[in-house]
Structure 1
């Protein structure tokens, strides 16, 4: 079960959603790189706050929609969007808005890639032999652990964390749940940084985006990574004992 709808028979139509995402991502990287920046947020902060105060629920809907588009089309500015969520809505519910939007956007990429390439690639891996087959089986046996691991490790690009599961026949519901829960640590950290942007703006400084790598932040995340990887290690040890 992959929780996926039937794809059209035309190969081009199957690949069209992912092709559109790639084209928009390239155009966005070129045309939007100067707009989705910290400087742009600082210059427009008073306008954004005034709009939020006058239209709170509309601001929430517009923010989530914009964040979904940024993630779904891999546009520059995802980190700035996360900071904006904290700046406008505080750590909570800002983190919840950020995680919801990021999960929806990630799911869009996952579905586009699965629809266009993932199903055929998954079948090829399933029918493979030797080492490739062993790797595929190992991933299948530890899907939850692998999914949480690639979300928790800061070094894994978000875009790749969306694509990899689409090629490995990961069920949609499993992808959505692991994405939403797996991005909680990073989302909360950066949303909290965004919540403190008022003071940063007042001092004329820029936020410390490297905070996630500071000991008090990174060590708990490493601990979560170890917990996520533990079932994989246990299964590997059991496999060796069975040889």
Structure 2
């Protein structure tokens, strides 16, 4: 019986992973992770950050973790955007922690799904 529960958990994790990656491409979200989009939206992101820094930092942090954990394309542009929008110190801290957590989750996904 424990073996069956383990197989169900693995199948559930595979299904969640597949759904997240499929939704990313179905909704064409990769267009938001390009240098052109970052350049065109810089003023909007900076003004949003000035109005509500905690919400913007938290959203960026979680979004970066998801992108890294599911190995979605765009981490380079997220890193550059973090430095451009939040400054050197805050950008470095946020990107370092988010990328570390995301990479850890990616390793756990790979370990338990493969």
In 2: Cα distance, 1:22 partner to 1:104 partner? 20
User: 2:63 maps to which residue?
Assistant: 66
- Runs of 4 or more, structure 1, over 6 Å off, are none
Check whether the contact 1:25–1:75 (CA below 8 A) recurs between aligned residues: yes
How much has 1:19 moved relative to structure 2? 4.0
Structure 1: runs of 5+ lacking an equivalent:
1-6, 118-243
Quote the Cα distance in structure 2 between the aligned partners of 1:62 and 1:8: 37
Residue equivalent to 1:43: 40
Residue equivalent to 2:6: 10
CA contact (8 A) 1:8 1:14 kept: no
| Greater share of residues in helix | 2
How much is the aligned-residue C-alpha RMSD, in angstroms? 2.2
| TM-score, normalised relative to structure 2 | 0.81
Distance 1:91 1:18 in 2: 37
Structure 2 matches for 1:199-214, cutoff 5 A? none
1:27 is displaced (CA, Å) by 4.0
1:20 maps onto 2:20 in alignment: no
Q: What is the deviation of 1:51?
A: 0.6
Give the whole-Å Cα distance in 2 for the aligned partners of 1:41 and 1:8. Answer: 46
Tell me by how many angstroms 1:44 deviates.
Answer: 0.9
If asked which structure has higher relative contact order (CA below 8 Å, sep 6+), I would say 2
- Residue matched to 1:104: 101
Q: CA contact under 8 A between 2:65 and 2:101: conserved in structure 1?
A: yes
Q: Secondary structure at the match of 1:41?
A: helix
Q: Name the CA shift for 1:55/1:113 in 2 (closer, same or farther; >3 Å).
A: same
Q: TM-score, normalised by structure 1?
A: 0.41
Change (3 A) 1:8 1:101: farther
Where structure 2 has 5 or more consecutive residues not aligned to the other structure, the ranges are: none
